[in-house]
Amino acid sequence: MSPEDTNLNADLMSDETTQAPPSAPGAARTAAVIPAAGRGVRLGPGAPKALRTLGGTPMLIHAVRAMAASRAVSLVVVVAPRDGAAEVKTLLDAHTLPERTDFLVVPGGENRQDSVKAGIDALPPGYDTVLVHDAARPLVPVDTVDAVIEAVRDGAVAVVPALPLADTVKEVEPRADGPEPVLSTPARARLRAVQTPQGFERATLVRAHETVTENVTDDASMVEQLGLPVVVVPGHEEAFKVTRPLDLVLAEAVLARRRKNDGF
Ligand code: CTP
Ligand code: MG
């Protein structure tokens, strides 16, 4: 590679970049599906969550960049709010994104599972590894993305990044009208808090979405229901989900720290 090529790559890949090799031409390729069709009810009134800004840039654009930062990811499918596909396309066009990555936008569904299914259904042939990544986790570092992809390429059919818990967890009998009886206290050392991107062998993910009809909050649990193995790789604190208003404060602080460290 000439020095000019190196510079060109550096320009294209400002911000975080990845050391993972891109897929060789003709080899199995990796696509990322980003469900971004939720309203963000827990965040309070305002625009759909994925379109709210962090450091002046829509959360969705951060999430897209986080996936496209991996050199292994050559397609990103964004699942937009049902009446917001045109707006999302405009947003993608208006922001700088790596030229080596293709983008598709499809309208989402009633719940997260329907939205992910819409994204999977839009995948062209040739993408054998599929990541599913919440738009609501805009700050996941590229090393975490690459670790998930690598585990799938090494033969796992389903991979989730996850972290040990800080809090002790209790199972309760849920009650709205008074104290809730505790049923059990699972051993914390055996528990993990699960993040995204989750990575899948494509055929397994497709089968999981065709087979499991009950509403679930993560795709790996559907693979578990098929009786297939799911493995965990280390997640990252900065891959937290923006769910409630306090999470926005944390996300802004993480971004501000990154910008300071990057010197701009
Ligand atoms: N999601 C989606 N389609 C839906 C619901 C959720 O694509 N019908 C996406 C969200 O946009 C988000 C991810 O799934 O990126 C995780 O969901 P969550 O954090 O629950 O986001 P929301 O459903 O938007 O938030 P809330 O539950 O507070 O309304
Ligand atoms: Mg939700």
Summarised one tens digit per residue, pLDDT across range 101-155 is: 999 999 999 999 999 999 999 999 999 999 999 999 999 999 999 999 999 999 9
| Phi, psi of 151, deg, nearest 5 | -65, -35
H or E stretch at 183: strand 182-184
Mean residue pLDDT across the chain: 91
Confidence band of 19 (pLDDT split at 50, 70, 90): low
Q: Which two tokens mark 19?
A: 């050391």
| 2 pLDDT more than 80 | no
Distance 112 CA to ligand 2 centre (A): 7
Considering only 10-24, 61-75, 87-101, 133-147, which range has the smallest mean pLDDT?
Answer: 10-24
Q: Which two tokens stand for residue 149?
A: 């992809």
Higher pLDDT, 113 or 17: 113
- φ/ψ bin of 74: left (φ > 0), alpha (ψ from -120 to 50), beta (otherwise): alpha
Q: Which of 14-23, 45-54, 133-142, 224-233 has the lowest mean pLDDT?
A: 14-23
Determine the atom of ligand 1 nearest the C-alpha atom of 63: 15
- How do 53-54 and 158-164 pair as beta strands? unpaired
Q: Are 13 and 64 in contact (CB under 8 A)?
A: no
pLDDT, position 11: 36
What residue ranges line ligand 1, CB within 6 angstroms? 35-42, 49-50, 79, 108-112, 115, 134-136, 241, 243
Q: Which helix (H) or strand (E) holds 130?
A: strand 127-132
In order of 33, 113, 253, the CA distances from 79 in angstroms are: 7, 11, 27
In sequence order, which residues have a C-beta less than 8 Å from that of residue 227 and are 6 or more positions away? none
- Expressed in angstroms and rounded, the spacing between residue 209 Cα and the centre of ligand 2 is 18
Q: For a pocket test of ligand 1, which of 33, 34, 39, 113 has the largest count of ligand atoms closer than 8 A to its C-beta?
A: 39
Closest Cα to residue 15, out of 127, 128, 140? 140
The pLDDT of residue 263: 72
Domain topology for 3-16+25-162+193-262:
Spore Coat Polysaccharide Biosynthesis Protein SpsA; Chain A (3.90.550)
Among protein residues, the one with the nearest Cα to ligand 1's atom 6 is 38
Q: Answer whether residue 45 shows pLDDT above 60.
A: yes
Of the residues 115, 133, 242, which should be mutated to test ligand 1's pocket, given the most ligand atoms within 8 Å of the CB? 115
Tokens 């995948």, residue located = 123
Q: Which residues surround ligand 2, an ion (CB under 5 A)?
A: 38
Degrees (nearest 5) of the Cα angle 47, 145, 107? Answer: 35
Smallest CA-to-CA distance from 80 within 61, 54, 55, 102 is with 61
pLDDT at 17 over 80: no
Element (H, E) at 54: strand 53-54
Query: What spacing in Å lies between the alpha carbon of 258 and ligand 2's midpoint?
Result: 28
Which atom of ligand 1 is least distant from the CA of 116?
7
Element containing residue 73 per DSSP (H, E)? strand 73-80
Note whether 80 and 108 are within 8 A (CB).
yes
| Cα 251 to averaged position of ligand 2 atoms, centre (Å) | 18
pLDDT at 34 over 70: yes
Position 25 scores a pLDDT of 52
| pLDDT at residue 197, rounded to an integer | 98
Q: How many angstroms does the Cα of residue 40 sit away from the middle of ligand 1?
A: 6
In the chain, domain spans: 3-16+25-162+193-262
Q: What is the pLDDT of residues 175-231, one digit of tens each?
A: 999 999 999 999 999 999 999 999 999 999 999 999 998 888 899 999 999 999 999
CA-243 nearest atom, ligand 1:
19
